[in-house]
Amino acid sequence: GLRYQDVFSDAEEICIIEKEMDEFENDPEDEFEMNWTPQQGSSGDIVSRRSVPEETYDRSYFDEDSLFGESSSSSDESTDEDDDDEIEDAGELPVNISQHQIAVTKVHFQQPAAVDEVDTLLSELDMSLQTTSKTLPTKTGTPIHPSLPKKDPKNDKSRKSWAVTDYIPLTSTNDFHTMLPNPALTFPFELDDFQKQAVLRLERSECVFLAAHTSAGKTVSAEYAIALAMKHCTRAIYTSPIKALSNQKYRDFKSKFGDDVGLITGDMQIGADGSCLIMTTEILRSMLYRGADLIRDIEWVIFDEVHYINDSERGVVWEEVIIMLPEYVNLIFLSATTPNTIEFSEWIGRTKRKPVHVIRTNYRPVPLSHNLWAGGKLHKILEGKGAFDTKGYTAAAHALLPASAREAAEMGKKGEKKKTTASGKTIPASKPSSGSRHSSWQQQGSKQDWIALVRFLEREGLMPTVTFSFSKRKCEELADSLRSLDLNTQQEKNAVQSFAIQTVNRLSPQDKILPQVIKTVEMVKRGIAVHHGGLLPILKEMVEILFSKNLIKILFATETFAMVGFVQPDVTVLSFLLSIHAMYSLFQGVNMPARCVVFNTIRKHDGVQFRELQPGEYTQMAGRAGRRGLDKVGTVILCCFGDQPPPQLVLRNMLTGSSTKLSSQFRLTYTMILNLLRVEDMSVESMIKRSFSEFATQRALTTNEYPKLLTKGTKTLIKLDEEFKGTADSRVGAEDVEGYYFASKNALQSNKELLSYILSAGGTGGGALVAGRVLLLNSGRKKGYVRACALVLRPPATSSKASVACVDDASCVCMVLLPQGFTKGGQSDDIKLGSLNYVGEAHGRYFAIHSISIDEILLVTTAKQKIDAKLFYNEEALKTNTRSADMPSMNAFAGARSMGSRQVDDPFAGMMARGRKGGHAPKSSKSTSVSQERQQVDEAVDALITAEKSELNAGLGTCDLKDCAKSMHSGNSAMEFGSTVDRFDRDMALARQFKSHYHPDLEHHYMAVDRKETLRAKVKTLSHLLSNESLQLFPDFLQRKAMLQSLGYIDENDTVCLKGRCACEVNTCEGLIVAEMVFEGMLNELEPAEIVASLSALLFQEKVDEELSKELPERLVSSCERMQAIALDLGQRQKDFGLSVDPLEYTANSLKLGLVHVVYEWACGVPFASICELTGVQEGSIVRTITRLDELCREVRNCARVVGNPTLYRKMEASSEAIKRDIVFASSLYVS
């Protein structure tokens, strides 16, 4: 395999090492490595698993790009370059960085570190840290996914991607059937190319990400993986985002693979020993946390509808499962088309340490035709992969105009004169009327509008039709408006009635007469139905089966219907459905879509606000149109019932825009933290580091460039520390230079804060930086002078509207008195006085015109000098003289010599003759001007020399910055500014107490400290970035862990206590509230009916009136109040520990009391029809809450077992039995 040197060019080594560096001890077992291994089954035989062929990919090629690459110990003969290559995790370097020392392995060096080499390394670190800071997401903002670096096709050393897009070549001589002579599963139709590619990859035991449109045939790859698992005597897990889809897939796969298929949900287990197990992603996550035995038998895990990872509530579950699955498990991802499939596959591959083969196709078996319904006609605006048709849009807009407006428009086209009044004024055309509450294009049509549309669909043969409406109530209203229509023939009515009778016979006599049951049965007979979350589950399944058999002609559904895959019903149901008419033999395919899809509106409420559909959402729903093998084109209709169509820009974006990206919804939960603290194979930090939200950041940080830079920086720092100690004898009079460095650094920081504030008002900062002001500067490493005196020539150019943050990078132009050790280099003659970077000389001292940032200003003094600023610095000269190559050096000590060896070659250099005897009188105005310029230069330099002597003697006076800012602020800002001024005064006074401040050779000693301490700070920063502390969610983890410790869920050693083990049992709701209820003994005092009524508040999600009925028992009311008190206390504790949690909002989101009375009556034996009268909540929502309540009862029963409470254990069993009856727990049509 290729080594790192084959992929990246090594940077040149900065340090020359005399002896080999001691070996860094690496943990032989990577702390991130998951030690999942197949174990022996009950029979004693090891379950066979198909291993990945070695020739599939060279794993060592990718190891250095892994989050957890293994490192081997270096041999005694290893070189320093090898050491660099072998250090994979910089966080493991034995570096303990402080301000004054760094404890590392001792090394010896041949020669002192060269100044230019250290500066090169510092520049390299600067660039790396700046690049990284741009990539890192903000701590307070939404997680950002930086785009991955693009591969350079011309550079052979570009990093190989974990996402592989290469296809297996298929030729006439080496076709699909030749390459796969003995397939694990055959299909009765010829596979499409993308399906063949997926099957071939699965045969090689490779991970696959398959992105294709709805109904394109993605399930083929899932079925083939299941067949492979059965062939290899292993298991395949099929995960789905919702329970209803799990039930459907169970029937689908069972009809194909027989009884070797199982289903595991929250309330049932069927065939748990099967080779193929269907379950929701939450169930698989629970198994991984528990370490279930069946995990070791898994060969394939299929993630269907993986774009569901974008769900804000449940998307985190997908990431948890992908991260925790053992390395030997092969993964299959089925998704709609997304723009960042490669990035997501990169994350999967890097996390699981194996390539992911991306197979994408925009192929749609049945192309779509998108139309606007306006004026009783269809107006095509897009077909297939064509462009947006503006003519169709214009025609639709014209058709929606009122009659008078259309007439005026037609007259305008024909060139007829406009109607005028007797006075000659033009009569304006009538304007379209606007809706009362919504914009005109958002109106959703009347009863007559919908009857006309349905009649059109029936006449044009566009049924069956799915009509999407994003409100349960609106679905019901639209279906009710079609009571006068009968869309089924008599034969179809008989078939529907027979099936409806069989379905209803599963219910009790009382449930058969429920209003919703009667209404739905009557509706489906006429070929009309609704499908939404408020419908009873058994009725939803009845509607789905009838629709799949073309017995429902128009279906009004919410968005979740787009995820439903229609499967064949039970054999007993199917027998009479297929026998009623010969035409139904055409509809034997599974997942059969509709002929036409209609959108009642393109606006939806996403839980926060109303908005237009995103392109991905629209594509998912519109993809239901078009039946493969039956329709040449699928028809999509957007209803326009107002006076104008939706804005063209909105339609263009929705129809042709990019699909929604896969984005991370990863967040920490208390259950996740407690579960991870209990397992050995994964830490919380590892989970965060591996999450999709951290992917781009961690990839940028853990590339080998960063650990190598850290290693080089560490070595160089050791060298600089040793050199500094070795030169202690030469620092006579400057022994305290390190202390002086930190004191002056603090003063620089304080002064920068003050100047940033006063400059935010614009101008010269209240006169602080007016031209002629004398400053003290510190810019040791950058420009080579310390404690240098300077005159302000041009104040910082800041706006009066600039914020403090905006002026942090402000700079002014100054005339700087260079140190005595400076000698002039080879400055070009092109740089004249008045230009930036000019270096001149007067009175035996050099000066320079430099741009000075405010963080280089040590002190603003009270001294001023009257000068002609334009003489020293001219803006026009700056614009014309921009050749930085001619600049001598920004380091004033370029070419400088130490004080001991300094010699003056010409003591009279630069001096002018004075007096008329020795000189010549000026002969022209030009010479007079030069003389005046020289005089001003002499005066300015003389003033700076005088200021320098004053600072060394008694100290220059400090400008009163409070006086400069007196008109800027008041209140808290004035107090903060005043405290900063006081802090600066203390810092400056402390700096002046050090002997080094007055040392004649201060610059050399200061720069030695500056160089090593700057390097130390950058090494510390880089080390922090490569550690867990830089993780975006790490502060959140520490806060949550501290909260858990305060409540006794974990101890000081992060060991999960009994209370924490109890909370780990709860996955359906907020586990901390349940654990607190159990440990406070609340549930011990309640009867089973009261227990389930109380627990329902943790599961109900809709916003309804939550006032408790006076008919409820006092104990139940008291229990609900205590639950609210617990939730409020937990919310306040989280806020106290620094989490952004509002206690009242946390309580409101965790507890909703809307169904407490309903559930209590249900547990007491009241019929379902009677409890529905107690609330306005729809029947389906009631059933869903009670069904989940049974799962919560089992979890609380497990809590009682953990804590050893047999009384509560028996009560929870009784509670579960109290709610399990009648229509709420009616068996699924797909399962039984």
pLDDT in tens, 1195-1230: 999 999 999 999 999 999 999 999 999 999 988 888
pLDDT tens-place string over residues 413-462: 555 544 444 445 444 444 444 444 446 677 778 899 999 999 999 999 99
**Do residues 463 and 554 lie in contact, with contact meaning Cβ atoms separated by under 8 Å?**
yes
**Do residues 712 and 84 lie in contact, with contact meaning Cβ atoms separated by under 8 Å?**
yes
**Do residues 263 and 246 lie in contact, with contact meaning Cβ atoms separated by under 8 Å?**
yes
Locate all alpha helices (DSSP H) within 1031-1087, ordered by sequence.
1034-1047, 1058-1064, 1071-1079
Beta-bridge partner residues of 637:
371, 598
Rounded CA-CA distance 435/437 in Å is: 6
pTM: 0.75
pLDDT of residue 341: 92
pLDDT above 80 (res 203) = yes
pLDDT above 90 (res 918) = no
Locate all alpha helices (DSSP H) within 300-389, ordered by sequence.
315-324, 341-352
pLDDT above 90 (res 1189) = yes
pLDDT above 60 (res 165) = yes
**Least trusted range by pLDDT, from 17-31, 625-639, 822-836, 1124-1138:** 17-31
* Percent of the chain with pLDDT strictly greater than 70: 75
Higher per-residue pLDDT: 836 or 562: 836
pLDDT band with cut points at 50, 70 and 90 for residue 630: confident
**Do residues 225 and 303 lie in contact, with contact meaning Cβ atoms separated by under 8 Å?**
no
The one-letter code for the residue type at 794 is: R
Higher per-residue pLDDT: 424 or 618: 618
pLDDT of residue 159: 53
Token duo for residue 896: 């400088």
Rounded CA-CA distance 410/416 in Å is: 9
pLDDT of residue 402: 79
Rounded CA-CA distance 23/103 in Å is: 15
pLDDT tens-place string over residues 501-513: 999 999 999 999 9
pLDDT above 60 (res 1025) = yes
pLDDT above 50 (res 245) = yes
Residue 666: name the closest of 321, 1082, 1093 by CA: 321
State which of 13-17, 527-531, 729-733 shows the largest mean pLDDT: 527-531
Q: What is the mean pLDDT of residues 83-105?
A: 35
Cα–Cα distances in Å, from 1045 out to 679, 1041, 1048?
18, 6, 5
Rounded CA-CA distance 468/620 in Å is: 12
pLDDT of residue 643: 85
pLDDT of residue 876: 64
pLDDT tens-place string over residues 782-793: 888 899 999 999
pLDDT of residue 657: 87
pLDDT of residue 1102: 86
pLDDT band with cut points at 50, 70 and 90 for residue 925: low
Beta-bridge partner residues of 237:
277, 301
DSSP state of 1056: B
DSSP state of 693: G
pLDDT of residue 1095: 96
pLDDT of residue 174: 82
pLDDT band with cut points at 50, 70 and 90 for residue 57: very low
Q: What is the mean pLDDT of residues 992-1003?
A: 91
Rounded CA-CA distance 1002/214 in Å is: 74
pLDDT of residue 825: 65
Token duo for residue 1006: 């200061």
pLDDT of residue 654: 92
pLDDT band with cut points at 50, 70 and 90 for residue 628: confident
Rounded CA-CA distance 764/770 in Å is: 5
pLDDT band with cut points at 50, 70 and 90 for residue 763: confident
Rounded CA-CA distance 160/179 in Å is: 27
Higher per-residue pLDDT: 933 or 1078: 1078
pLDDT of residue 1125: 96
pLDDT of residue 132: 54
Rounded CA-CA distance 83/102 in Å is: 20
pLDDT above 90 (res 883) = no
**Beta-sheet pairing, 554-557 with 528-531:** parallel
pLDDT of residue 546: 94
Q: What is the mean pLDDT of residues 978-995?
A: 92
DSSP state of 420: B
pLDDT above 80 (res 909) = no
For residue 1224, the Cα-to-chain-centroid distance in whole angstroms is 39
The whole-chain average pLDDT of the chain stands at 79
pLDDT tens-place string over residues 1106-1130: 778 888 999 999 999 999 999 999 9
**Do residues 48 and 233 lie in contact, with contact meaning Cβ atoms separated by under 8 Å?**
yes
Higher per-residue pLDDT: 1158 or 120: 1158
Catalogue the E-assigned strands of 384-474. Answer: 465-468
Helices (runs of H) and strands (runs of E) counted in the chain:
44, 26
Q: What is the mean pLDDT of residues 949-953?
A: 91
**Do residues 1195 and 1067 lie in contact, with contact meaning Cβ atoms separated by under 8 Å?**
yes
pLDDT of residue 563: 60
**DSSP-derived 3-state class of residue 53:** coil
pLDDT above 50 (res 121) = yes
**Do residues 582 and 550 lie in contact, with contact meaning Cβ atoms separated by under 8 Å?**
no
Catalogue the E-assigned strands of 251-308. Answer: 261-264, 269-270, 276-280, 298-303
Residue 251: name the closest of 529, 544, 557, 547 by CA: 544
pLDDT of residue 678: 92
Token duo for residue 301: 């895990």
* Percent of the chain with pLDDT strictly greater than 90: 46
Rounded CA-CA distance 967/978 in Å is: 13
pLDDT of residue 954: 84
**DSSP-derived 3-state class of residue 274:** coil
pLDDT tens-place string over residues 264-298: 987 788 999 999 999 999 999 999 998 889 999 99
pLDDT of residue 607: 75
**Least trusted range by pLDDT, from 94-108, 867-881, 892-906, 944-958:** 94-108
Residue 1157: name the closest of 1193, 1107, 1119, 1191 by CA: 1107
pLDDT above 80 (res 94) = no
Token duo for residue 155: 């550079």
pLDDT tens-place string over residues 793-822: 988 876 555 555 556 678 889 999 998 878
pLDDT band with cut points at 50, 70 and 90 for residue 638: very high
pLDDT band with cut points at 50, 70 and 90 for residue 54: very low
DSSP state of 109: B
Residue 663: name the closest of 362, 306, 322, 352 by CA: 306
Higher per-residue pLDDT: 39 or 976: 976
**Least trusted range by pLDDT, from 435-449, 655-669, 785-799, 1028-1042:** 435-449
pLDDT of residue 686: 92
